[in-house]
Every structure is written in structure tokens, then in C-alpha cells.
């Protein structure tokens, strides 16, 4: 099992991805202890060390889940874009093969027409020479 260091840097941020940036901002906001302690507030009770501890645990959990969600969503988007690009390339290749086949058929038809014209000419010359 690989151990992850708490000081390990995150992967580089993808540039120009608003959805990723929004999810990352939400993760960072939910990773703040002050944000998470509010759920434990009760009227007439002060915030003790135990509540701050629980809020810290919730913050770490929310931060890790949020960052993982941001990167996994970005990865899914990249995979979808790559698949779309691959499908487009495949369609272009198929279209190019179809056009090549049509050009080959056209050349064959032109050759057959020329051969038929040549045969007709030879037939006419043969008829004249008899």
C-alpha cells in the first residue's frame, strides 16, 4: 500500500477549465474548519476543543473528497473529449476510404469507356476494310 505524504504536491491545475476551478474552490471552502464547525453550533453551548476537533476531521474529509471529485470530473471530461476526437478521426478516415473507392471506380469506368470506344473504332475500321 502506497503511503501518501501530507506535504505531497497536487498535480498541476488544468488551465482554462471553469468547472474544475469551481469544484476546487468548493473543496477548499469546505476544507475550512470555520465552515464545518457551524453545523455543531447549538444555542447556549460554547464551542469546545472536541467540537473543533470534530470540525477539523470533517474539514480534512471534505477537502480530500472535494479535490478528488474535481480531478475525477476533469479526467472524465478529458476522456469524453478524447473519445469524441477519436470517433471524429475514425469517421474522417472512413469517409476518405469511401471517396478513394469512388475515385477508383470512376477511373475504372473511364478506362472501360475508352476500351469500348477503341473496340468500336476497330470494329468500324474492320468493317471498312472488308
Give residue-wise pLDDT tens across range 9-42: 766 666 667 888 888 888 988 888 888 888 877 7
Distance (Å, rounded) from C-alpha 88 to C-alpha 100?
Answer: 18
For the stretch 74-124, pLDDT in tens is 888 889 889 999 999 999 999 999 888 889 998 999 999 999 988 888 888
Q: Cα(10)–Cα(74) distance, rounded to whole angstroms?
A: 14
Please report, for the chain, the start and end positions of each structural domain, with discontinuous segments joined by +. Answer: 18-98
Instruction: Give how far Cα 71 sits from Cα of 17, 22, 41, 64, Å.
Output: 11, 12, 32, 11
Amino acid at each position: 500500500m502506497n503511503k501518501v505524504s501530507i506535504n505531497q504536491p497536487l498535480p498541476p491545475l488544468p488551465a482554462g477549465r471553469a468547472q474544475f476551478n469551481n469544484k476546487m474552490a468548493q473543496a477548499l471552502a469546505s476544507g475550512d474548519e470555520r465552515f464545518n464547525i457551524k453545523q455543531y453550533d447549538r444555542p447556549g453551548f460554547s464551542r469546545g476543543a472536541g467540537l473543533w476537533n470534530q470540525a477539523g476531521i470533517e474539514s480534512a474529509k471534505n477537502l480530500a473528497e472535494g479535490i478528488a471529485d474535481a480531478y475525477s470530473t476533469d479526467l472524465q471530461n478529458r476522456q469524453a473529449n478524447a473519445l469524441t476526437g477519436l470517433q471524429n478521426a475514425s469517421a474522417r478516415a472512413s469517409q476518405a476510404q469511401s471517396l478513394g473507392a469512388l475515385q477508383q471506380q470512376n477511373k475504372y469506368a473511364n478506362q472501360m469507356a475508352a476500351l469500348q470506344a477503341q473496340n468500336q473504332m476497330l470494329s468500324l475500321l474492320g468493317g471498312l476494310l472488308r
